[in-house]
């Protein structure tokens, strides 16, 4: 098992009606991808461009 540092985050639309929960090791680049339509198809479909919550974890478990 491999441990990395990472973030858990929540994205939503301007009306706060749809939410997306994600995990990433690079929060800045992940949000940039969403804003530039290079991220998740779900995020782009529902226009979830507002970050409403994030939390840093020093140990996120990635199963290899």
The mean pLDDT value of the chain amounts to 89
pLDDT of 58 reads 84
Q: Which domain holds residue 11?
A: 2-62
62 pLDDT above the threshold of 70: no
Q: What is the pLDDT of residues 13-33, one digit of tens each?
A: 999 999 999 999 899 999 999
Cα separation, 36 vs 51, whole angstroms: 14
C-alpha angle 28-42-56 in degrees, rounded to nearest 5 = 30
pLDDT of 64 reads 44
- Per the CB < 8 A criterion, the answer to whether 36 and 29 are in contact is no
| Whether the predicted model's global pTM rises above the 0.85 cut | no
Handedness of CA 14, 16, 18, 19 (dihedral sign): positive
Total tally of structural domains belonging to the chain: 1
12 pLDDT above the threshold of 50: yes
């Amino acid at each position: 098992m491999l441990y990395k540092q990472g973030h858990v985050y929540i994205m939503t639309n301007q009306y706060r009606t749809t939410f997306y929960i994600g995990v990433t090791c690079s929060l800045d680049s992940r949000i940039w991808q969403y804003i530039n339509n290079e991220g998740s198809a779900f995020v782009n479909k529902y226009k979830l461009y507002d970050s409403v919550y994030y939390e840093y974890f020093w140990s996120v478990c990635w199963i290899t």
